[in-house]
Amino acid sequence: MDLRHLRYFIAVAEEENIGRAAARLHISQPPLTRQIQQLEDELGVRLFTRTPKGMELTQAGELFLAEARNIRAVVEQATERAQRAGQGKLGRLDVAIFGSAILDAIPKLLLTFRKAYPDVKIVLHTMTKAEQIEALRQRRITVGFNRMLAPQPDLATELVATEPLLLAINENHPLARETNIPFRMLAEHPMVLFPTGARPSFIDKVMGLCQEAGFVPKVSQEVGDAVTGVALVASGFGICLVPESVTTLTLPGVVFRPLQDAPAQAWVDLSCIYRADDQSPILAAFLETARLFRQHKQNEDGAIIATGTESWVADI
């Protein structure tokens, strides 16, 4: 049996007349007669009673008509779903994020993507950088978010956002009196660094910047993530350099200050990482969304920094 047989059968059942059905199907009458006979033979069932007026469905035919229509609908739906999946509009995207990445850019990007591709199910996984790379290789995730990604032969990265570094200080800290803090002033104060774990990491970024500014920072404590770092600042452990997005996290006693005279590299990247060989249309769609998102964000950046500055003023 063939889908053609079903199409023909439905036409004949609806027209109750082979000639008219044949016209509707744009074929001539005899082949249609034959196809119907074939279908009946194959099923071993009379689907029609032939009357001088035309073709009339038997009970079995009546039942099979309902089934045939159902099959037609199911097939149509299947092709349509496959096509949408092929365009990345339907399916599942497994995304890994690291601890404090939920703070700003990523949720907005995910929201944008979900708006554009509402039938793609986004599954979030929290993983460290090393876990993300491992999971990508095992195809357990499609894309991961991280900072400071070392290039990998089989993985590609895409820059999602760049953020300036801010200084998190306890409000009672001497530096908190300053509005704009020259970068070299950091040399004198114990500093909380993060994250421990896989290198290269944000720690290396900070160390590099200090080195460039001509000093080696006093390390007060190394911690696992930004949230813990800011928490230690709140308890008076020292100062801590953090990406701007961490400011969405407010802890009592902590204030954020921009850096003056900071080296040009005092910006930190947020990238996403994915398999270089992944041709999945969903990934392609996601990366495209990320690209658009970043452009959009850059256009807004002036505004963000302006309002940001205002809020620091208000903070003082």
**Footprint on this chain of DNA (rule: CB under 7 A):** 2, 4, 16-19, 22, 26-31, 33-38, 50, 52-55
Burial class of 268 by CB neighbour count within 10 A (0 to 12, 13 to 18, 19+) = buried
CB of 55 to a copy of itself, least distance (A): 14
Could you give the CA distance from residue 267 to residue 164 in angstroms, rounded to a whole number? 4
Amino acid in position 187: A
CB of 9 to DNA, least distance (A): 12
CB closer to DNA out of 50 and 108: 50
Cβ neighbours of residue 270 closer than 8 Å, sequence gap 6 or more: 101, 105, 106, 145, 146, 147, 159, 160, 161, 162, 163, 243, 245
Exactly one of 67, 154, 188, 315 binds a copy of itself (CB under 8 A); which one? 67
Say if strands 219-222 and 191-193 run parallel, antiparallel, or are unpaired: parallel
CB of 30 to a copy of itself, least distance (A): 22
**Contact of residue 139 among DNA, a copy of itself, none (CB under 5-8 Å per partner type):** none
CB closer to a copy of itself out of 87 and 162: 87
Distance from CA of residue 231 to its chain's centroid? 29
CB of 276 to a copy of itself, least distance (A): 14
**Contact of residue 153 among a copy of itself, DNA, none (CB under 5-8 Å per partner type):** none
Distance from CA of residue 44 to its chain's centroid? 52
Q: Which of residues 261-300 bind a copy of itself (CB under 8 A)?
A: 279-282
**Contact of residue 34 among DNA, a copy of itself, none (CB under 5-8 Å per partner type):** DNA
* Interaction of residue 90 with a copy of itself, rule CB under 8 A: yes
Token pair for 299? 């256009």
